[in-house]
Amino acid sequence: MRHTISVLVENKFGVLTRVAGLFSGRGYNIDTLNVGPTHNPKMSRMTIVTRGDDATVDQIVKQLNKLVNVLEVQDFRDGDYVDRELVLVKVKVDSKTRAEIMQIADIFRAKIVDVQPQSLTVEITGNESKVEKFLELMSTFGVTGLTRTGKVALQRK
């Protein structure tokens, strides 16, 4: 089962290394990791997506809370948070498929950010299911490049 964990940390040297070391040292995998400053430049928020049962994730949360420079840890459960991901995807095009790809992008509220004779680069943001469905549709045209930010999330309350 996938879990999203938000970790508020002091914006100091070595914090990311300690968090990543906690996961690797205990044999846990990180599916996605996103780190960025908050409205307070002295703090950063890490959004970590990992896999495991509830007991495993509870153990991860307890261990994260023990780390130096960790201010707050939240294990987001379904409906407790808002999440988004940004993806840039480069798709092969020709004169016949260009309009179709642009139409699909419009339906998904994605943006064409680069146009080349043989490709289009599309930017899409949204939750995981929206992004995955869009990428599934683009794969039929031929994806030649892809990069993803990983999930960012904030608590609803």
Q: What fold, for 82-155?
A: Alpha-Beta Plaits (3.30.70)
Which secondary-structure segment (H or E) carries 4? strand 2-10
CA distance 3 to 10: 23
Q: How far is CA 11 from CA 38, 39, 49, 68, 70, in A?
A: 9, 12, 20, 12, 10
Give the CATH superfamily of 2-77: ACT domain (3.30.70.260)
29 pLDDT more than 80: yes
Which of 152, 107, 157, 156 minimizes the C-alpha distance to 7? 152
- Give the tens place of pLDDT for each residue, 84-98: 999 999 999 999 999
2-77 and 82-155 agree in CATH topology = yes
State the pLDDT at residue 77. 77
| Domain residue ranges in the chain | 2-77, 82-155
Give residue-wise pLDDT tens across range 44-94.
Answer: 999 999 998 989 999 999 999 999 999 999 999 767 899 999 999 999 999
3-class DSSP assignment, residue 55: helix
- Check whether 145 has a pLDDT greater than 80: yes
